[in-house]
Amino acid sequence: MNAEIISVGTEIVLGDILNTHSQFLSRELAGMGINVYYHTAVGDNDRRFTGMLENALNRSDIVFLTGGLGPTTDDITKETACQLMGLECHYDEAIGERIRSYFARSGRRMSENNKKQAMVPQGAVVLQNDWGTAPGFILEKEGKTVVLLPGPPRELQPMFLQRVKPYLEQKTNGIIFSKNVRVFGIGESLLEEEIVDLVTSGNPTVALYAKTGEVLIRVTAKAPNQQQAEELVDGMIGQLRERLGNTVYGIDVAGLNEALVAELKRQKKTVATAESCTGGMIAEQITDVPGSSEVFEMGTVTYANRIKRDLLGVSEQTLQTVGAVSRECALEMARGLAQKSGADFNVAVTGIAGPSGGTPEKPVGTVYIAVEHGGKVWCHHYYFARNQKERDYNRTQACLNAMNMVRLTLTDPKIYEEYYE
């Protein structure tokens, strides 16, 4: 089955907004075994949109139309699609009532033109929108399927996952089920080598996506029912865990910060941070997770040497002999932080983020990370050499590795035994 995606909106072709729908839908459809051959975007122009949709219906089995379902006269997607496909529209009382009560809940009054959103094409499957006012629609005619979805991402994404996907699964006589395995601490090529036989095994499919500093593995199974699909996916995840060990940090989590906060909560432990080159990024990442106040004790950003000394008790000798970017300084920062914070884990980072500040002995990208736990400290020396100029890359890598060191200590008792001094 071949699909294509048409994004409708003048704001897209003007470059005012970034089109993220095409990527989202393509990835989802690829996971379901549906090929996407074309992405197109066109403004709110009747003639140009009609030409594009006509083309699409000639060459694809399913056409996704995103955007242009709003209440104003600019919003032409539904009307134009129906005209081209020869479908009448009628006003639907129930949908009108939903929209009216949606406005009432947010203390606003429904305007006359919102009624446009309650017009339903004849024979259409209505996709109820619990995230906004415009319902979506699935139109079927002469073997072709047209799916209309609202433009805002926070409406489109749940609409696809909860309304369209089950419909397509039913059409293809089976369940498609995915889980995302999150991996940190192994490069994409090395990872692919480790699991190349699993990547090519068929059902479930295993797809790799490189993200900043980590890899996402998407495991997708097709089966006659949900239980069988889940069993297939979980079986594959078991095999991945066996191969990849503790580089797997979570299943269906948003990121390392979420996985770390969840594990700290589970074990009722707390964490504190002392940051130099990351400048608050670790604290920011941890506190980005709702409910992190249970596990986050305190953070310090000790940029100036004087502050490292006064706030964390780093010795004048260390600062003057080996300098602030050193193993010794990281260790003293972590121990000093532990005294102040009383947290179970005290993580300290010092390094050279760039673009300037590097020396031949300590080039940009040099970072020391120390974690204090139970009176002992583990320090690791990193060198992020991908591109010495990339301040943001170096800071992000340092931040992720700091969170990962705490995670490893929490989840793998051997780490504490072997690495902590």
Closest CA to 163 of 148, 179, 178, 141: 148
Closer by beta carbon to a second copy, 22 or else 114: 22
Q: What SS3 class is residue 138?
A: strand
Token pair for 278: 């990351």
From 34-42, 68-76, 87-95, 223-231, give the range in contact with a second copy by CB under 8 A: 34-42
Query: Smallest gap, in angstroms, from Cβ of residue 24 to a second copy?
Result: 7
Amino acid identity of residue 407, one-letter, is R
Closest CA to 374 of 282, 300, 269: 269
Q: Of all helices (H) and strands (E), which one includes residue 349? A: strand 345-351
Q: What SS3 class is residue 420?
A: coil
Site for a second copy in 3-22 (CB under 8 A): 7, 12-20, 22
Query: Smallest gap, in angstroms, from Cβ of residue 230 to a second copy?
Result: 23
Closer by beta carbon to a second copy, 211 or else 376: 211
Tell me, residue by residue from 133 to 172, as one string, x for binding to a second copy by CB under 8 A and - for no binding.
----------------------------------------
Assess 284 for contact with a second copy (CB under 8 A): yes
From 99, 119, 281, 402, residue interacting with a second copy (rule: CB under 8 A):
281
From 8, 34, 36, 259, residue interacting with a second copy (rule: CB under 8 A):
36
Whether 37 contacts 63, CB under 8 Å: no
Assess 300 for contact with a second copy (CB under 8 A): yes
From 297, 363, 388, 411, residue interacting with a second copy (rule: CB under 8 A):
297
Assess 394 for contact with a second copy (CB under 8 A): no
Query: Smallest gap, in angstroms, from Cβ of residue 173 to a second copy?
Result: 24
Q: Which residues pair with 197 in a beta bridge?
A: none
From 296, 345, 384, 393, residue interacting with a second copy (rule: CB under 8 A):
296
Whole-number Å distance between alpha carbons of 56 and 83:
15
Whole-number Å distance between alpha carbons of 26 and 402:
34
Closer by beta carbon to a second copy, 198 or else 216: 216
Whole-number Å distance between alpha carbons of 320 and 387:
29
Token pair for 271: 């964490």
- Cα four-point dihedral sign 71, 74, 77, 81: positive
From 153, 235, 245, 355, residue interacting with a second copy (rule: CB under 8 A):
355
Whole-number Å distance between alpha carbons of 283 and 299:
6
Closer by beta carbon to a second copy, 1 or else 126: 1
Whole-number Å distance between alpha carbons of 145 and 143:
7
Q: What SS3 class is residue 97?
A: helix
Whole-number Å distance between alpha carbons of 372 and 150:
50
Work out the burial of residue 186: count CB atoms within 10 Å of its CB; fewer than 13 is exposed, 13-18 middle, 19 or more buried. Answer: middle
Site for a second copy in 207-246 (CB under 8 A): 209
Assess 265 for contact with a second copy (CB under 8 A): no
Assess 38 for contact with a second copy (CB under 8 A): yes
What separation, in Å, do the N-terminal and C-terminal C-alpha atoms of the chain show?
59
Closer by beta carbon to a second copy, 186 or else 311: 311
Amino acid identity of residue 391, one-letter, is R
From 303, 382, 416, 420, residue interacting with a second copy (rule: CB under 8 A):
303
Closer by beta carbon to a second copy, 341 or else 409: 341
Query: Smallest gap, in angstroms, from Cβ of residue 168 to a second copy?
Result: 16
Assess 48 for contact with a second copy (CB under 8 A): yes
**Pairing state between β 2-8 and 62-66:** parallel
Chain contacts with a second copy (rule: CB under 8 A):
7, 12-20, 22-30, 36-43, 45, 48, 52, 55, 209, 273, 275, 278-284, 286-288, 290-293, 296-304, 307, 310-311, 340-341, 354-357, 391-392, 395
